[in-house]
Amino acid sequence: MTDTDEAALGIGEVSARTGLATHTLRFYEDEGLLAEVRRNAAGRRVYTREDVDWLRVCAKLRASGMPLPEIRRYVELVREGPGNEAERYELLHGHETRVRQQMADLQEALDTIHGKVTLYARHLAAGTADQLWRDGPACEEPAAR
Amino acid sequence: MTDTDEAALGIGEVSARTGLATHTLRFYEDEGLLAEVRRNAAGRRVYTREDVDWLRVCAKLRASGMPLPEIRRYVELVREGPGNEAERYELLHGHETRVRQQMADLQEALDTIHGKVTLYARHLAAGTADQLWRDGPACEEPAAR
DNA sequence: TTAGGAGTTCAAGTCGACTTGAGGTCAAGC
DNA sequence: GCTTGACCTCAAGTCGACTTGAACTCCTAA
C-alpha cells in the first residue's frame, strides 16, 4: 500500500491513486480511453503503472473540459504510432486555446462577482449595507463602474 | 435598434442584447431568476432596462458556473429587501471562492496540456517527432517534469 | 463452510440546463 | 382577407458524463 507496488494494480488501488471511481475506470475503458486493460486468470483487470499515469493525464484533460470523444481520438492517434504527430499537436493545441479562452471568460465573470463582493464587504463594514439598493433588485450598482 | 430604445423591450430585443435565447429567457423567468416580468395588453413580456442589466449579471454568474437555484436564492434575498446583506455577501463570496479554485484547477490542467503541446511543437519543428514515444501510449514524458 | 469483500457484466437512472416541438394568439402589411 | 412573423404556453426531448443497481463470480480468512 506504500510504494512497494510491483506495477500491477487492481482496480481498487488504481481508483485510490487516480481519484476516479472504479465504475468510472470501467466506463473510461468502455469508452476507449485506455487500450484494452489486461486481465488476470480470474478475469480481473490488472493495471500497469503507465495505465495509471495515463489515467492521471485523462483526469487533467477532463478537469479542463476536454470531451471524452476527443480524448479517445488522441489515444487512437497515439496507438496508431508515429506519423500523425501533427494531428496530435493540433488536437492538444486546439484544446489549450479553448482552455485559455475559458479562463479569460472566468476571469471576466470573476471581476463582476468580486466587484459585488467588495461592495457588500465595504457597506457591511461601514454599517451602511441597507443603503445599497434604492430601487429594485436589478440595479445594485448604478451603472457598473 | 441603435440606442434609441425607450427602456421597454420585447423578448426578441432582450435576446439580442443579452445573448440568451428567447426560450432561455422564459425558462429563467419560470425558474425564478427574475421577478415576474411585466406584460403588455396582448400578454407579451415587456422587459425594462434593469431586467436586461440583471440578465447580463445572470449570464456572468452562469458563465462562472453558479447553479440556477443559487442565483434564485440571491434574487429572493434582494427581493426581501434590506436586512439580509450578510447572507447575500456569504452567497457571493462563497461563489467567488469556488471560481478562484476552479481557475486554479484549470491552470494546473493547462500546465499539463501546455507541457505536451510545447513538447510536440519542439519535436515537430526539429523533425524528430517520431522519436517521442519509445514504448506505449502512456509515457509521453518520461516522468512529467 | 460460510461470510465477506473485491471484482465482474450489463442495463438503467440521474442531473442540470437548456432545447425542441406542437399548437395557438395577435398585429401588421400586402 | 390572408399570410407572415413574433410571441405565447406547456410538455417532452437532449446531452454528456457519470452513477446506481442487480445479479453473479472469486478468493480469503475465521
Total structural domains in chain A? 2
CB contact under 8 Å between A110 and B64, yes or no, is yes
Is A139 domain-assigned? no
**Grouped pLDDT means (10 residues each) for chain B, 145 residues:** 62 97 97 93 95 96 97 94 94 98 97 96 87 53 37
- Name every chain B residue with its beta carbon within 8 A of the beta carbon of A139: 50, 53
Residue A60's CATH number: 1.10.1660.10
| A5 & A73 share domain | yes
| A63 & A27 share domain | yes
Give the pLDDT confidence of B3-21 residue by residue, as tens digits.
444 678 999 999 999 999 9
| A25 & A74 share domain | yes
- Name every chain B residue with its beta carbon within 8 A of the beta carbon of A96: 110, 113-114, 117
pLDDT score for B6: 61
CA B141 to chain centre: 34
| A56 & A109 share domain | no
Is A144 domain-assigned? no
pLDDT score for A127: 84
Average pLDDT rounded to a whole number, residues A24-39: 95
C-alpha to C-alpha distance for A73 and A88, rounded to whole angstroms: 9
Helix (H, G, I), strand (E, B) or coil at B9: strand
| A121 & A65 share domain | no
pLDDT at A26 > cutoff 80:
yes
C-alpha to C-alpha distance for B79 and A47, rounded to whole angstroms: 55
Give the pLDDT confidence of A85-132 residue by residue, as tens digits.
999 999 999 999 999 999 999 999 999 999 999 999 999 998 887 776
C-alpha to C-alpha distance for A63 and A42, rounded to whole angstroms: 33
CB under 7 Å from strand C? A 10-13, 15, 22, 26, 39, 43-45; B 21, 23-24, 27, 41-43, 62, 67-69
Instruction: Pick the range with the lowest mean pLDDT from A22-31, A128-137, B92-101.
Output: A128-137
How many Å does it take to go from CA A118 to C1' D10? 42
| B58 & B17 share domain | yes
Which nucleotide's C1' sits nearest to the alpha carbon of A37?
Answer: C8
Give the pLDDT confidence of A50-73 residue by residue, as tens digits.
999 999 999 999 999 999 999 999
Expressed as residue numbers, the domain containing A12 is: 1-81
All residues at 6 or more sequence positions from B6 whose CB lies less than 8 Å from its CB, including other chains: none
| B92 & B76 share domain | no
| B7 & B62 share domain | yes
| A44 & A103 share domain | no
Is B138 domain-assigned? no
| A64 & A92 share domain | no
A48 to chain B, closest Cα gap in Å = 10
How many Å does it take to go from CA A7 to C1' C28? 76
Residue count of chain A? 145
C-alpha to C-alpha distance for A19 and A66, rounded to whole angstroms: 18
Is A141 domain-assigned? no
| B75 & B106 share domain | no
How does DSSP classify residue B7?
S
R_g of chain A computed on alpha carbons: 24
Is B60 domain-assigned? yes
CB contact under 8 Å between B113 and A89, yes or no, is no
Contact A57, A75 (CB under 8 A): no
- pLDDT band of residue A33 (cuts 50, 70, 90) is very high
Is B14 domain-assigned? yes
How many Å does it take to go from CA A91 to C1' C12? 34
CB contact under 8 Å between A85 and B120, yes or no, is yes
End-to-end CA distance of chain B: 55
C-alpha to C-alpha distance for A13 and A47, rounded to whole angstroms: 9
Q: CB A13: neighbour CB atoms within 10 A?
A: 14
- pLDDT band of residue A6 (cuts 50, 70, 90) is low
Average confidence score pLDDT of chain A: 88
Long-range CB contacts for residues A135-141, cutoff 8 Å, separation at least 24: A136/B35, A136/B50, A137/B35, A137/B50, A137/B54, A137/B75, A137/B78, A137/B79, A138/B48, A138/B50, A138/B51, A138/B53, A138/B54, A139/B50, A139/B53, A140/A116, A140/B78, A141/A115, A141/A116
Q: Which of B111, B110, B95 is nearest to A64 (CA)?
A: B110
| A33 & A13 share domain | yes
Is B7 domain-assigned? yes
Is A106 domain-assigned? yes
Contact A121, B89 (CB under 8 A): yes
